[in-house]
Structure 1
Amino acid sequence: MAERNKRTVRDLRRTNRAALLRHLYFEGPLSRQELGQGTGLSSGSVSNVAAELLAEGVLEEAGSVESDGGRPRTLLRVAPHSAYLIGVDVGETRVRVELFDLTLAEVARSELPLEDGGHDVTLVVRLIADGLREVLAGADEGPGVGADVGADVGGGPGADPLGRLLGMGVGVPGIAEQRPEGGALVHAQTIGWDAVPLEALLRAAAGLPREVPVLVDNGAKTLGQAEMWFGAGRGARDAVITLLGSGVGACVVTGGVPYGGAASSAGEWGHTVLNVRGRRCRCGALGCLEAYVGAGAVLERWREAGGSPLEGDEETALAGLLATEGEGVAAVERVLAETAEYLGAGLADLVNLFNPERIVLGGWAGLLLGPRLLPAVREATGAYALRYPAARTAIELGRLGPDAVTVGAATLPLLRFLDAGGSAPGVALSA
């Protein structure tokens, strides 16, 4: 009985810490009184939890505000440099690795092109490991970050480690199968990955200790979490965050929670069939939505219409399409009008299936095309969707820019940290 009570007290303490820390993270800086009002915790619980988190360095004081007839109230906030996070985006043309502080402010970044190597697993793993070493070694001097960081990730003997690394999140172009043993496997049919043990490969290549979480998920889902927390999805309970790049995906959020399905593969919106026996998709099937609105598909349709895409990666070529002038404008306008209609039809399926209050267009191609196509996309969605749910769905552009996937990837270990009430699930790498 004593042990049961002991566990109950420990669980209550962790729950109180998590409630206070999460509320302060998203709504702070706040006074202790405001924290009590926002979390429902008693003033005694707020004082005790705040004192613990201040002593641990997770929180810090952030000035004061006047109170009505009493002493000024001290404001509290999450201490940015009390911990650090890594976010990785395995994109279509590059691998992006970013180091963030606890408030997800960027500390350092590395962008390494995939070039002609494509998505060869060995190459991608090496680029991530190289990027990880680069952002750690290149971090500016600051609280908790040394110039020679990374002893435990290949920095060499004697290097000063990062102050406190909570973990690394990785967004990938495929399905991440979460396994209790052996780490995540990635199934990415469009790039030729079949049950790739990415987590295990990354740990071996980067020399990460087992205590540091490496969390892998689909890139559209990490983008979705970032937009729901900090961007265009914030405040919505039922939303769909879409990712348009070379690939096309979606993060479906119901009741404020991302929907994964039976095998974490929900959201493969790009591989819903738009046209039976239609254009060949990268996945091998015919008529997928991605074969019409993915960046490569848009460029291919432009080429068929007589256009001449610029040499280089797809981002350069798509930007060139949008900048076309003179005789080629008519062909571009036809391709863009078709793209808006295809995209609107795909969004109408999301409206009819999930009845979201908000749909967000994200991904690098979505952000490039969106400002030009958004009015036509909204019109096409309304034409193909049922009127009642369509009239109650807002369609907006993402707000976090090209870094949304890496920010979202970093939220994977951050979420664990917040749910644990500020107790790091990984390892404190500093003394």
Structure 2
Amino acid sequence: MTLRGKQTVRDLRRGSRSTLLRRLYFDGPLSRQELGRITGLSAGSVSNVTGELLADGLVEECGSVESDGGRPRILLQVTPGRAHLVGVDVGETQVRVALFDLALTELAASDHPLSDKGHDVDHVVELILTGLAEVLARTGTDPQTVLGVGVGVPGIVEQGAAAEHGLGIVVHSQTVDWDAVPLGRLLRAGTDLPLFVDNGAKTLGQAEMWFGAGQGALHAVVALFGSGVGACVIADGARFRGATSSAGEWGHTKVHVGGRLCRCGSRGCLEAYVGAEALVERWGAAPAGSSEKAGLAALLAAAESGEDAAVELLDEAAEYLGAAIADLVNLFNPERIVIGGWAGLMLGPRLLPAVRDAATAYALRFPRAQTSIELGRLGPDAVTVGAATLPLSQFLDSGGEFPDRSGPAAPAAS
């Protein structure tokens, strides 16, 4: 009889593969000797497991370094072209689909503006599937090499019992009128690729923690500023999700009781004062027919030229944002707060000094002194990169196993 909780030989092998693969992915290239020292695995285990990874094509030799008196040490790295990943950003104004190799080098991207149908669910699903087909066709990528499709969405993502096949993924988003949308089942009807869905702010958070401004921190908050506002809270190196995965809806915390009406239907939300949509609307002087990004750029240009209304609006936004960041400092005691998203990166260079000052004024002195506030480093498309890390994370955890495509099919449409 197998004792409950006892690891099998297969479990130990998989764990060793995952440990070495992760080290090579995040810290490589590394020699076998360095891998042994870093991981604590024996020389024999490192030799056997790296031999398997080389035979599977997951790892490749990439040069050598001199050793003290012996033969040069061969360096190993994860093979970038061995597999592919897809990241999708369901944004406020467009759906972006990008294909990456294992090194998260973007190979192709497809941008589809949302039409006058807005976030109509069928319309969004159609754009995702169209973009997926386009990036695969454009690069000639074999779908069998794709580890999965990660999707970042606005709102709360509920992972159901069949989430491993995508069928149980349900999205709740008041701001775009999605009420228990079975996004996994709808996408599964158009692709057999593995599906991973999460809140867009959480995918941004994972990207910045892995590759950007959050690297090295165990306690952090990564904030997304676009049309709306969200956040990813990192506690002890892991994304904090809460009881039903809704943790991080920071944009709907209150900064003014009975204040401005928010897209969520409530009043006084942070998003209603510092989100790009709210700022452009409140300014009211954007060129007719301009996009939200163009409107925000015009607001910024007006402030830079000294227009009083624009300067006053952005100064107020900086104070609201700094006060809200002070709440994060007092509640979560993070080492680092990272501001990302296209609007955050556009406004950040102007607003960041005032935001830091306001955070200092409103936060408790001791935790504020331990917290740095900085801009994200991955650019405006970081949600797409973060979405691609969802299947990548499972791949690394599994020790490099390719997904099983034999899961249940979606029920036929009636």
TM-score by length of 1: 0.90
Q: Where in structure 1 do 4 or more consecutive aligned residues deviate above 3 Å?
A: 1-7, 325-328
Q: Distance in 2 between matches of 1:274 and 1:228?
A: 27
Q: Distance in 2 between matches of 1:136 and 1:34?
A: 37
Please say if 1:374 is aligned against 2:346.
Answer: no
Asked whether the 8 Å contact 2:286–2:298 carries over to 1, the reply is no
Aligned ranges for residues 176-187 of structure 1 at < 5 Å?
A: 176-181=157-162, 182-187=167-172
Give the partner amino acid of 1:239: A
Which secondary structure does the structure 2 equivalent of 1:67 belong to? Answer: coil
Which secondary structure does the structure 1 equivalent of 2:96 belong to? Answer: strand
Q: Distance in 1 between matches of 2:287 and 2:235?
A: 39
Q: Distance in 2 between matches of 1:92 and 1:312?
A: 15
Aligned ranges for residues 383-422 of structure 1 at < 5 Å?
A: 383-422=361-400
Q: Distance in 1 between matches of 2:27 and 2:367?
A: 31
Q: What residue is the counterpart of 1:144 in the other structure?
A: none
CA 1:7–1:253 in 2, change beyond 3 Å: closer, same or farther? closer
> RMSD of the alignment, in Å?
1.8
Give the partner amino acid of 1:99: L
Q: Distance in 2 between matches of 1:174 and 1:2?
A: 42
Please say if 1:169 is aligned against 2:154.
Answer: no
Asked whether the 8 Å contact 2:86–2:149 carries over to 1, the reply is yes
| Count of residues paired in the alignment | 402
Give the partner amino acid of 1:246: S
**TM-superposition CA deviations, 1:69-109 (whole Å, max 9, x none):** 11011000000011101100000111000001011111111
Q: Distance in 2 between matches of 1:339 and 1:4?
A: 55
Q: What residue is the counterpart of 1:158 in the other structure?
A: none
Q: What is the percent sequence identity of the aligned residues?
A: 66
Asked whether the 8 Å contact 2:172–2:181 carries over to 1, the reply is yes
Give the partner amino acid of 2:179: D
Q: Distance in 1 between matches of 2:314 and 2:344?
A: 12
Q: Distance in 2 between matches of 1:72 and 1:6?
A: 40
Unaligned stretches of 5+ residues in structure 1: 140-146, 150-160
Asked whether the 8 Å contact 2:342–2:381 carries over to 1, the reply is no
Q: How many angstroms does 1:250 deviate by?
A: 0.2
Aligned ranges for residues 61-76 of structure 1 at < 5 Å?
A: 61-76=61-76
Which secondary structure does the structure 2 equivalent of 1:222 belong to? Answer: helix
Q: What residue is the counterpart of 2:131 in the other structure?
A: 131
Q: How many angstroms does 1:325 deviate by?
A: 7.1
Q: How many angstroms does 1:203 deviate by?
A: 1.3
Q: What residue is the counterpart of 1:363 in the other structure?
A: 341
Q: How many angstroms does 1:295 deviate by?
A: 0.5
Q: Distance in 2 between matches of 1:424 and 1:239?
A: 31
Q: How many angstroms does 1:8 deviate by?
A: 1.2
Q: How many angstroms does 1:318 deviate by?
A: 0.4
Q: Distance in 2 between matches of 1:39 and 1:275?
A: 50
TM-score by length of 2: 0.94
Give the partner amino acid of 1:22: R
Aligned ranges for residues 215-364 of structure 1 at < 5 Å?
A: 215-303=196-284, 307-309=285-287, 311-324=289-302, 329-364=307-342
Q: What residue is the counterpart of 1:193 in the other structure?
A: 178
CA 1:10–1:234 in 2, change beyond 3 Å: closer, same or farther? same
Asked whether the 8 Å contact 1:382–1:390 carries over to 2, the reply is yes
Q: Distance in 2 between matches of 1:424 and 1:126?
A: 26
Give the partner amino acid of 2:77: R
Q: What residue is the counterpart of 2:51 in the other structure?
A: 51
Q: Distance in 1 between matches of 2:213 and 2:64?
A: 31
Unaligned stretches of 5+ residues in structure 2: 407-414
CA 1:56–1:380 in 2, change beyond 3 Å: closer, same or farther? same
